[in-house]
Structure 1
Amino acid sequence: MKDNYIPLRVNREFGEIISTYFDFFKQNIKNFTNVFISYNGIFLVGLLIASYLLVSGFIGMIAHEYNYENVSGEIGLEQNYYLYLGFGGFLFFVIFICVAVLNYSLSSSYMIKYVEKKSSDIDKKEVWEYAKSQFGNIILFVLLLIPIYLVILMASFILVIIPILGIFAQYIFQFFISAWIGVSFFDMLEKKKGITDALGEGWRLVTANFWKSVGVNFILGLLLGILLMITLIVPAIIIGVYTFHVVENNVDYSHSIVTTIIYTLGTCFILIIAVYGQCLSQFVNGILYYALHEKTYNENTRASIAQIGQNY
């Protein structure tokens, strides 16, 4: 494995960061997916439950809207559908926040261990222990992001209402924030810094390399989005064909177990892909962090020169 190690502490230009990301992705996707499944099991079950509640609510509301006679016609049923939707949506929101924190931590810790061991042969327990050791800082970091994102939302709203240029400015601002938060989070875990110090360091690194940071997040975000959409093609076709069958044959979907199962599994799969995409996006900022940090401080370059000097 060590022969295939991809050095990440390297000052790379824009195109090199893109290619390095996909090299890292291909080499580590199987091992990291094992880590992802191992520590997200309970949340994946939760997403399945949330999907069932959301699907049940939507199906019930649609059936009620079209006045299906088989829907029982009870007055309280419509309220039940709203309860399903409300509780399912709330459950999904809570799980999504939890897995966002967990998977940002796991993906960052995995990459840090990869650099530390110079190998992709990483024990999932090592990744978990490293992330767990900094859970206090991680939770505080997330809590601090709440007021930060409120300010960001206000700024985004102001930009959006500006004709034409405002829309482009809003997207640039969005990808800049994504780079800043991702690089800061990575710096906090990698250097074991305090939250404000990490946010300050992330700000310095990203602002000093503004267009590179924005461009990397835009291009890789776009490519990852396309990749994730491709993985959804097969379930989308299955759901589409089944929906066509339901409509054409006037199937009573409100009482069909098959309908509930197909739509529940489809919804759950989409939610899992969305969660998994979070991990892949943090890998982007991990590689960006190492490139920007090495460009700024030349730590790896100086260490290599010093090691050469010791050999003579």
Structure 2
Amino acid sequence: MNNAYIELRNRNDFGDTINTYFLFLKYNFKKYTSLYLRYNAISIILLIIASYLLVTGFMGLASRDFRFGMTNGGDQNIYLIIGAVFLALIIFVTTLINYSFSSSYMAEYVKNTGQVESKNVWQNIKINLGPIILFIFLGIGLYIGYFIVSIIFAFIPLIGMLVQYGLSFLLAAFFGLSFMAIFSENKGLTNALSEGLTFTFSSFGKVILFGLVIGILNLMITMLIISIPGFIIGIYVYFSLESHVDLATNVFASLVFTLGFAMFLLAFIYSQALSQIAYSVLYYNIFEEKNNIFLKNKIEQIGINE
């Protein structure tokens, strides 16, 4: 049953669109995640290294007694700075991979009715590499603008908070739909942005509500993923404190905290990839509502067969 194809090009209502997303995960979660881990193997390793630098820096500052024999607080600051910069770079690159991989995967999934080949996913990314890079830099500018607007609206009680959340969902939807438009038919940046903008505002209510629901559901999935390492770390800290273990200088504690922090970051990044899967489902739904291409082809095919 895990090879069952879930048709995404249907004119579904809101509830059916959400249901389609979870049906897709139900039958394709294992295959998608396996391929996802292959594409992000290097990023995961680098993310763990960045986590180690940050955790080591924080614990070094807390103890003022570095494991490597350094006692100067400036050394810990260097580890923190290097770790933070390294982490930001890794998250940026991984975000680029996530959006590209998820969009390419979904385009290949629809094109070949569920038969996704790794080489084709990578080929699609290479073909659209130019628009992808330009769009990522555009996205950085958009999110900087969003951050500035959010600061302004933060001073307005309640209404400001609602506007912040609305803009967040709107921007995420525009970004996700436009990115999917790049891969659906290998569209250029301008055409993809135009289609993403049209889809976002023509189905404004549906897009905002979809982003809210998917955001909550993906957050629950993320919490479920990190609950196990979080529980283990909590138990370890509790018994360590009961045994009067100095967590700031303990080597095993550094390892536990590093893996726990890395697990948290990986869960957050993976939820980002799942969000793009969700917006890909929404993209095909809105595309079919506006163009009615798949339904027309099915009707024509029935006429030919008869």
- 2:237 equivalent to 1:243: yes
1:128 paired with 2:122, answer yes
Listed as ranges, the matches of 1:160-309 within 5 Å are 160-309=154-303
Give the CA deviation at 1:76. 5.2
**Matching residue's letter, 2:32:** F
- Deviation track 1:248-293 (CA, whole Å, cap 9, x = no partner) reads 2221334322111111111111111111111101011000001111
| Deviation readout 1:20-48 (Å, 9 max, x if unpaired) | 10000111111111111111111111011
**Structure 2 CA distance for partners of 1:48 and 1:310, relative to 1, 3 Å:** same
Quote the residue 2:32 is aligned against: 32
Q: 1:59 to 1:75 in 2, by over 3 A?
A: closer
Contact 2:59 2:249 in 1 (8 A): no
DSSP 3-state at the match of 1:261: helix
207-216 or 266-275, larger mean C-alpha shift: 266-275
Report the Cα distance in structure 2 between the residues aligned to 1:85 and 1:257, rounded to whole angstroms: 18
> Cα RMSD between the aligned structures?
1.9
Opposite residue 110 of structure 1, the aligned amino acid is Y
1:77, distance to aligned residue in structure 2 (A)? 2.2
Q: In the aligned structure 2, how far is the partner of 1:111 from the partner of 1:141?
A: 19
Q: Give the Cα separation in 2 of the matches to 1:44 and 1:171.
A: 30
**Residue 244 of structure 2: SS of its match in structure 1?**
coil
Cα deviation digits, residues 36-71 of structure 1 (max 9, x gap): 11111111110111111111011111223xxxxx66
Cα deviation per residue 1:3-36 (whole Å; 9 max; x = unaligned)?
Answer: 7211101111110111110000111111111111
Please tell me the residue identity of whatever aligns with 1:259.
A
Cα distance change on mapping 1:266 and 1:75 into 2, 3 Å: closer
Provide the rounded CA distance (Å) in 2 between the counterparts of 1:296 and 1:212. Answer: 14
130-139 or 153-162: which moved more? 153-162
Opposite residue 41 of structure 1, the aligned amino acid is A
Residue ranges of structure 2 left out of the alignment (5+ in a row): none
Shift of 1:114: 0.8
Aligned with 1:81 (options 76, 79, 82): 76
CA contact (8 A) 1:2 1:118 kept: no
2:46 — aligned with what?
A: 46
Assess if the C-alpha contact under 8 Å between 1:71 and 1:254 holds in 2: no
Instruction: Look up the SS of the partner of 1:7 in the other structure.
Output: coil
Q: Provide the residue aligned with 2:63 in structure 1.
A: 63
Residues 309/164 of structure 1: CA separation in 2 closer, same or farther (3 Å cut): same
TM-score by length of structure 2 reads 0.94
Give the distance between the partners of 2:43 and 2:3, measured in 1 at CA.
36
CA distance in 2, matches of 1:2, 1:154: 45
Over the matched positions of the two proteins, sequence identity in percent amounts to 35
Say whether the 8 Å CA contact 2:108–2:121 is kept in structure 1: yes
User: Which position in structure 2 is the counterpart of 1:96?
Assistant: 91
CA distance in structure 2 between the partners assigned to 1:205 and 1:198 by the alignment: 10
Kept after mapping to 1: 8 A contact 2:2/2:27: no
> Match for 1:284: what amino acid?
A
Structure 1: how far apart are the matches of 2:24 and 2:80? 39
The residue matched to 2:40 in structure 1 has which SS? helix
Query: Residue 192 of structure 1: SS of its match in structure 2?
Result: coil
Q: Residue in 2 aligned with 1:109?
A: 104
1:217-258: CA deviations, max 9, x gaps?
110110110111011111111111111223222213343221
> Secondary structure in 1 aligned to 2:187?
coil
Report the CA distance shift for 1:57/1:3 in structure 2 as closer, same or farther (over 3 A).
closer
